[in-house]
Chain A
């Protein structure tokens, strides 16, 4: 499978715990994105990387959230001190840095905070 891969697919955690999600983009893609989707809403942009540089962060990305892409390949999204409002699907996507490039999404990581 050469698509965007996300792990774990599902995570249930207690409030206050830290969680980390991993994303492996399509191999030749140099841009990587994180989105969050809650029930009844469309995906909302969180952040994106070009290679290892984090170029944009949404106001949705509070201080408890941190994303890294240390070698310009895979990325991690960590949520510290989780809250019930963090329960959502976290989507990773990737693309090539070209005009009109298409963004391809992974299958998402479901987070439930209890």
Chain B
């Protein structure tokens, strides 16, 4: 049972444009969400997170939006840069539980 879903395995975006990565979840007990970026043969690198009490969190070029009623979150990267090319994972956690549940990832390719 895939509780966190990233339905787009890949996405290509022109450099300078906006990249939008999507994530859906099924478990209403999730209350904290994170995005990680991963290069090949490396561990995931934390990007940005959002608590369920918020609907938006921004950090530089990265913004995460949370729609609790739709159980959907998205990561916006603007402007996209070649160094953003990587696999992006969405992860979720339940209150009081340390386990992160990850999606299967979206491979983002920024085209120069």
- In this complex, what residue of B is CB-closest to A9? B41
Whether A25 is near chain B, meaning CB under 8 Å from some CB there, is: no
Number of interface residues of A (CB under 8 A): 26
B89 touches A42 (CB 8 A): yes
Chain A contacts of B1 at CB under 8 A?
none
Residues in chain A within 8 A of chain B (CB atoms): 4, 6, 31, 33, 35, 40-45, 48, 55-56, 58, 91, 93, 100, 102-108, 110
Give me the 6 closest cross-chain CB pairs, A-B, nearest first.
A42-B102, A105-B43, A45-B99, A108-B43, A107-B43, A105-B44
Whether B45 is near chain A, meaning CB under 8 Å from some CB there, is: yes
Pick the contact of A91 from B34, B43, B91 — CB < 8 Å? B43
What is the total of A-B residue contacts with beta carbons within 8 Å? 56
Chain B contacts of A35 at CB under 8 A?
100
Q: B residues 83-105 with Cβ under 8 Å of A? A: 89, 91, 98-105
Contact A56-B105, Cβ < 8 Å, known A104-B46, A106-B43 = no
B49 touches A100 (CB 8 A): yes
Pick the contact of A42 from B43, B46, B51, B105 — CB < 8 Å? B105
Contact A103-B104, Cβ < 8 Å, known A43-B44, A43-B89, A91-B44 = no
Pick the contact of B43 from A4, A41, A44 — CB < 8 Å? A4
Whether B62 is near chain A, meaning CB under 8 Å from some CB there, is: no
A33 touches B43 (CB 8 A): no
